[in-house]
Amino acid sequence: MPLQQKAARALAAALLRHGLNGLQVHPAPPGEQRLRVERRALLGVAMRDAVLEGEPGEPPPAVAASPEAPACGAAFALLAARLAELAAVSGNLARLHAEYRKTVRRVRALQDVLLPEIEQTLHEVETSLEELEQDEAGFLRRAANAAAT
């Protein structure tokens, strides 16, 4: 079962047991959790990896303690750790997609602008070479005729 469904079921069970107001006054765990983000590059694109470090800790005793409230907290702690990783992956995919779109635009520019210009220049060079060959052939004919007479 996915973590989100487990967390939703744990929340529903805790709400059934305590009600919304009762669940809101449960003490938060004192542990420290930090989001560690590491940066790296993939083919020149900035990538990030995120990990939620630390443990939520053991909450102080509640007035109306039950097994459902800590189970709900634990389920959401697992979900938060996974969501941190997924957020980094999602951002990486967005950056890679943006870089892909830039690359596609550059390729289209090459196809639509630069390649036709190169083909035109190549055609002009070929035409110039043909003209030079014709001039050279004419010069050789005139030189052969002059030598024959």
Q: Would the pTM of this model clear 0.85, i.e. be above it?
A: no
Please report, for the chain, the start and end positions of each structural domain, with discontinuous segments joined by +: 3-103
Maximum average pLDDT range among 51-60, 67-76, 91-100: 91-100
Three-state secondary-structure class, residue 70: helix
- Chain segment 84-115, per-residue pLDDT in tens: 999 999 999 999 999 999 999 998 888 888 88
Structure tokens of 79? 């979900």
Strands (DSSP E) found in 32-124: 34-42, 45-53
Structure tokens of 13? 């069970």
> For residue 65, what pLDDT is reported?
79
Mean pLDDT of 21-49: 86
> For residue 1, what pLDDT is reported?
57
Structure tokens of 1? 């079962």
Structural contact between residues 30 and 105, judged by C-beta atoms closer than 8 angstroms: no
- pLDDT band of 124, cuts 50, 70, 90: very high
Q: Give the Cβ contact number of residue 121 at 10 Å.
A: 10
